Every structure is written in structure tokens, then in C-alpha cells.
Amino acid sequence: MQPKYGVLDHFISQMTGITNDQIKYAPMLEEAVIHLLEWIGNREYKVFAWSNTDYRQLKHEIQSKGITNPEILEFVNQDRWIEKTRI
């Protein structure tokens, strides 16, 4: 996913191995989540994450970017998210 503001900093590049060149033409957050939801289709789903940090960060990014797409807002409905520690 391409950052909306700025570039990938050195710390994140070192941690993930992802470079700015690799994400130069990647979709923005809203488009990436829409692609994911299209892939899921009409199936019922849950999102499994290592911790609630993933959920909180994604929700923060969606809110801070002013994304109001109802399907995306439903995707970040906390009831859909399962923490690994709760499994």
C-alpha cells in the first residue's frame, strides 16, 4: 500500500524489507481495502490478527484519511476482528 503522506522511512524499510520503489505504484489504503473486500465477496468473514494493534492502526488510518465508504467501515467493525490471544 502506498503512503498518502510522505515516504516510507528508513526504520520501516529496514524492519520490513519494503522499499519506496516497491510501493511507488501500489494502491492507496481505500483502494487496497476495496480490492480485499471484492476478493472476500459476499462470504461471511472474520479477521484474525496477532494483536489488536493491527485493528487499532487500520481504524486510525481510515479515520485520519476521512474514509467513509460503508463497506470499509464495516470491515473495521471490531466484532469482525479476532486477536490471536483470544483464540
Q: What is the DSSP string of 65-79?
A: TT---HHHHHHT-GG
Asked if the model's pLDDT at residue 2 lies above 70, the reply is no
84 strand-pairing partners: none
User: What is the grid cell recorded at 37?
Assistant: 473486500
Give the global pTM.
0.76
Residues 56-83 pLDDT 10s: 999 999 999 999 999 999 999 999 999 8
Instruction: Please tell me the predicted confidence (pLDDT) of residue 82.
Output: 93
| Triad 8, 14, 18: Cα angle to 5° | 55
3 state DSSP class of 15? helix
